[in-house]
Structure 1
């Protein structure tokens, strides 16, 4: 029973953090309701499979896979360029299938040649801390917009939703400070149910749309058609792969740090194995016409908030995601989760990641630390304030990099530390 509840909480956390990306991408490409539902289903299926592959054969840590923000950004960029470059939106999606498959191959090659371990040594405590704070900064806008109801029932702020979101956040804080550890383990699941019920009683929850078709639907291979060749997409895939490697290593490092604090176990440092499996997972994203995945750093905050550090509940939870994705009605039910409730419930999870970042900073006492943090924040957070329209005339590959404050700030931290404050790299493996 205990494993079942823990697994269900993992599953809910995965869905709450992953459902928005495929829904938004489907809308951008003007997919009809049936194709949109299929796109969401295939993405969740791939995420469940990807999580099980990583926890059993890859990094072997309880880290949920989510739609990679980088791939999301690439989908957004090419959605606006589809008619100019590829002729139609469907041909664009076929080219993106190729990009994810190419990314998987590059991932596997980089892992085979030992590049993942070399890159992992650049993730010093300062770089990891910068990455985490920029991650929280990047997500804070989405969280506050979601919790205030912007774009949920209307375009503006909804004070009713904002008040309920604040109430759920306060309940989360109360749970984390006053409840016994046994109840804290299931705090996210309990508060999510409470929030969903309140929204339903007040008429603020969206109705569940029962999909047409049979009770079971298996994910379709190459649902948008077979991949179409485009040399520009291969270049984009190469850049995205290098940046996804950065995301993957950062997530592993952060979760290793949290688990070492909770269990006193030394980090496993299975970066090469994780790289191989990430390659397979990218290819699955392309083959199943889904969104490419990446290990999510938010798993560290989830583990710290709930204390769920064992692998078995995570494996069962990922299995539940796969099962849910095969049943369209179940998928539709979870997809109807009110977005403000999801944001409010996992708000504390990401707040806890700020503490993890400062603990990383404490490990480095070098004189260059303030400068590295300062310049990385100026670049990273400053980039987040540049309007997307500013990159409309740039090449997609350039826009993918320059429009991502998280990646640009993290790369700035790495380069500044290695060039201006060169020291012997720390081996975390």
Structure 2
């Protein structure tokens, strides 16, 4: 309890607040825009995101895996949902039908995740996610999210407007400068200052942006229209969308394995079966809730590993304080509206630096694999295929049946599935074992 009232805990908690905020604020805005929701509905979903995410972080830290790992709206789910909306538009499927089917799929996915937690299947499934699989996941996940935040740094808007957007040179220059400042502080500054590098970058960048551009490119301020169930569409059954959602939910378990396994060394202990059970159960509960409220489903953030490496703040108390402050931001709209004025390009620049640490996490997993000319395919195929698919325009996949198109058009999902299949179907280490 004494730790809770220390000023250092609250300063570290403030940095956690900004990390949670910058990882959350863009997601409901882009999803709302993709579904063509009015600004009032988007504001409501944004406010709900703050409240639910703050609660989810605190519950996981207190009763779940009990580590300082952000529980937030999954980047993997985010990408799948945006892909589904683009496919729905191309196929003339009403977005309300997509949203309603997605709600059913997300709720079912949450129930399956709860079952995984309650039955203790987490450690069993974890055996499938071997070091080579986790290395592929971490690398592709980093590529996917770094790409999103690099676009934010370049002043390219999120959502449908990105189709015809161009690079904003002045915004890009400031964002790059802020990213360089954060990197230099992280490398050169004394440890007492280094741990607050992200917070320092946000404060400097926010002030510099307002002085330079007068507050342009911030989140649009709109009052909430009140909460409602199924804001993306009333529940309706579409087999293809629901199957895709359930498969995405199963692959989303990689986030839990990545976050917990990736922090074992930091906490100097291996994740226990009890931690897996509690973590999956809580993630499943909040995923089901997100289906009802129209939010992107939840998962432990593997990007938290980069934050922990960057700041060294591994204690739970500052993280719980950050989650509490984020919850308050949602409960008291004026506070949330003030922080939502943070320029997206500055938030993207700081997160860009934080997510670079995912390369280190990927390398740590790959270091547990002995690569040879025979077994290099176990990683090379999913990595290269996944990255190439990420670069292909959506129009290339129009000839693929709609039921599997969302999966096959996602480089991240394809890469994870290939890694799982290749790693668990072949004995790649037989040549090294023979030696």
TM-score class, shorter-chain normalisation, is 0.7 to 0.9
Find out whether 1:308 has 2:303 as its counterpart: no
Q: 1:211 aligns with which of 192, 197, 222?
A: 222
Determine the C-alpha separation between the residues in 1 that align with 2:174 and 2:396: 36
- Counterpart contact for 1:126–1:369, Cα < 8 Å: no
- Counterpart contact for 1:78–1:396, Cα < 8 Å: no
Point out the more displaced range, 335-344 or 301-310.
335-344
- Counterpart contact for 2:149–2:351, Cα < 8 Å: no
5 Å matches for 1:285-296? Answer: 285-296=290-301
Determine the C-alpha separation between the residues in 2 that align with 1:375 and 1:81: 26
Determine the C-alpha separation between the residues in 2 that align with 1:393 and 1:114: 40
The Cα shift of 1:87 comes to 7.1
CA gap 1:423/1:238 in 2 versus in 1, 3 angstroms: farther
- Counterpart contact for 2:206–2:343, Cα < 8 Å: yes
- Counterpart contact for 2:72–2:300, Cα < 8 Å: yes
Q: 1:161 aligns with which of 154, 171, 182?
A: 171
CA gap 1:349/1:123 in 2 versus in 1, 3 angstroms: same
The Cα shift of 1:175 comes to 0.8
Determine the C-alpha separation between the residues in 2 that align with 1:332 and 1:421: 54
Give TM-score scaled by structure 1 length.
0.88
Find out whether 1:202 has 2:206 as its counterpart: no
Give TM-score scaled by structure 2 length.
0.87
1:427 corresponds in structure 2 to none
5 Å matches for 1:28-427? Answer: 28-80=34-86, 88-151=94-157, 155-203=165-213, 205-206=215-216, 209-212=220-223, 219-223=227-231, 227-257=235-265, 259-260=266-267, 264-268=268-272, 270-365=275-370, 367=372, 370-421=376-427
Determine the C-alpha separation between the residues in 2 that align with 1:175 and 1:8: 18
Determine the C-alpha separation between the residues in 2 that align with 1:283 and 1:358: 33
- Counterpart contact for 1:168–1:344, Cα < 8 Å: yes
CA gap 1:70/1:137 in 2 versus in 1, 3 angstroms: closer
- Counterpart contact for 1:95–1:230, Cα < 8 Å: yes
CA gap 1:83/1:181 in 2 versus in 1, 3 angstroms: closer
The two structures, once aligned, show a CA RMSD in angstroms of 2.7
The Cα shift of 1:404 comes to 2.0
Determine the C-alpha separation between the residues in 2 that align with 1:334 and 1:65: 20
The Cα shift of 1:141 comes to 2.3
Determine the C-alpha separation between the residues in 1 that align with 2:423 and 2:238: 37
CA gap 1:209/1:374 in 2 versus in 1, 3 angstroms: closer
CA gap 1:277/1:160 in 2 versus in 1, 3 angstroms: same
- Counterpart contact for 2:87–2:406, Cα < 8 Å: no
* 1:346 alignment partner, SS class: helix
Determine the C-alpha separation between the residues in 2 that align with 1:286 and 1:190: 36
The Cα shift of 1:240 comes to 1.9
- Counterpart contact for 1:209–1:332, Cα < 8 Å: no
The Cα shift of 1:118 comes to 1.6
Give unpaired runs (5+ residues) of structure 1.
Answer: 425-429
Determine the C-alpha separation between the residues in 2 that align with 1:61 and 1:272: 14
* 1:365 alignment partner, SS class: coil
**Paired positions, count:** 417
Point out the more displaced range, 110-119 or 16-25.
110-119
- CA shift digits 1:69-112 (9 cap, x unpaired): 34334433443566899974345433332222111111122334
* 1:202 alignment partner, SS class: helix
1:21 corresponds in structure 2 to 27
* 1:156 alignment partner, SS class: coil
2:3 corresponds in structure 1 to none
